[in-house]
Amino acid sequence: MDHPVMGPDEIRDRTQVVWDQFYSLRNIWARSRGAVSSLKARLAFLLISKIYRQMYANTGIATDSARVNRSARWARLMAIPCRRLFAGRPMPDLRIDRPNVSFSSPLTLRVVPSQQGPPA
């Protein structure tokens, strides 16, 4: 369907300008202020926003596969520092007791209490 005023190139150009403005570092950082409070969360917000931008901005219907592959590669590289932001502290003393579960028939589930005592 044709636009009554703009041609396809103008639509594409204006759309790109809007994407560039919305996903600029300055605007993402300003939006993060209203979404989260800690510096770590704001950095995560910024990186995730940039990853989202990288994954979807230049991958329209008419985009060639090389551009899509390049965009995906950049998104993967940008995700590496995000893992550190979301990683929790090691919990070496964490212990999970799972009850033994057995099936006496296809329709019945029976939970058997664990033979182990409470965690030390």
Contacts by residues 112-115 (CB-CB < 8 Å, ≥ 24 positions apart): none
Alpha-carbon span 105 to 73, nearest angstrom: 49
DSSP string, 10-40: HHHHHHHHHHHHHTSHHHHHHHHHHH--SHH
pLDDT at 90: 75
pLDDT at 30: 94
Where in the chain are the domains? Answer: 8-86
Distance CA 58, CA 95 (A): 46
End-to-end CA distance of the chain: 69
pLDDT of residue 95: 73
Q: Which residues pair with 111 in a beta bridge?
A: 101
**Going residue by residue through the chain (120 aa), what tens digit of pLDDT does each one get?**
788 898 888 888 888 888 889 989 999 999 999 888 889 889 888 888 888 887 776 555 445 566 667 777 777 777 777 777 777 777 777 777 766 655 555 555 555 555 555 555
How much is the pTM? 0.51
